[in-house]
Amino acid sequence: MTGAPGTTYREAVRAAIREAMQRDDRVFLMGEDVGRYGGCYAVSKGLLDEFGPERIRDTPLSESGFVGAGIGAALGGMRPIVEVMTVNFSMLCLDQILNSAATIRHMSGGQFSVPLVIRMATGAGRQLAAQHSHSLENIYAHIPGIRVVAPATIADARGMLWTALQDPDPVVIFEHVMLYNAAGELDGEAGAVDIDRAAVRRPGRDVSLITYGGSLGKTLAAADELAGLGIEAEVIDLRTLRPLDDATIMASVRRTRRAVIVDEGWRTGSLAAEIGSRIVEQCFWSLDAPIERVCSAEVPIPYPRHLEEAALPQPAAIVAAARAATGR
């Protein structure tokens, strides 16, 4: 089997949904505009014609309602994939995720599980303003009882979904809006991937750049620029935000003795803060410099392009943080 040339992230997610539905009759997709419209980001385009309205279900604009229906379907033995149009709107179903999906196994003494996958778009960069552009992954990474993943590559977009569907507990998948058009080669043998481990996307010896999702490309670009300055940065793609792969993070920091955490969330109470705290707890005596954080400005994401770009982590800020950490 040959690889798929020029596969986009969007197409990789669609292929993953299609394969899951072909392999398991219990799998179905539900959410706002996933059927006739083909999905807000065109991920589910064509799937309604292929699988019909029983398995590609358009829902009312009621996140609490259709996520609750997904929980019920999972409890009933189905394998639902629920699409929430954007992470901002997920606040409307946080009660269902936090107080029901994440707690049922615990509160039933292990008698019931909720094998539910929730996909949602996250992040900024498309001038969708404050209603649609925030990065709230840290909220979900805070919740026991769920797994949180953030595929940043074409292969992970293709492979994480099937792995998630095998999990007996809820999995939340964050897809960054700026990745949907990203294209790359996808191995024809690509399949399920391990979602328990972070990945070293670029080896280095001078500083660890730790990131995830939509910030991976910017971080790799910064690493390229740093290499031109004689600084070899190691780039860690977290991939899974809950549970964090402490072993990979700490092994990298112990090698480089410096850390820069790149997180599109706001700095206060961020995932970057949690990772930084863990590094201090586990690697304090290995550090040669304070931990640096590159996060979004603490404002609602602006609509004008120049202000939106100014509010988000950019390669120049990552380079500056790495230079500060290395003293170069």
Q: Under a CB-based contact definition with an 8 Å cutoff, are residues 195 and 147 in contact?
A: yes
Q: How far apart are CA 238 and CA 248, in angstroms?
A: 9
Q: Under a CB-based contact definition with an 8 Å cutoff, are residues 120 and 174 in contact?
A: yes
Which of 11, 32, 83, 132 does the annotation list as catalytic?
A: 132
Q: Under a CB-based contact definition with an 8 Å cutoff, are residues 303 and 270 in contact?
A: no
Q: How far apart are CA 328 and CA 321, in angstroms?
A: 10
Residue 141 is classified by DSSP as H
CB burial of residue 117 (10 Å; 0-12, 13-18, 19+): buried
Q: Is 176 annotated as catalytic? A: no
User: What angle in degrees, to the nearest 10, is found between the helix axes of 216-228 and 315-326?
Assistant: 50
Half-sphere exposure of 31 (CA within 13 A, CB side): 26
3-class SS of residue 177? helix
At which residue do the structure tokens 């899951």 appear?
20
Q: How far apart are CA 263 and CA 313, in angstroms?
A: 7
Q: How far apart are CA 286 and CA 288, in angstroms?
A: 7
Which of 11, 32, 63, 292 does the annotation list as catalytic?
A: 63
Q: Is 234 annotated as catalytic? A: no
| Residues identified as active-site | 63, 132
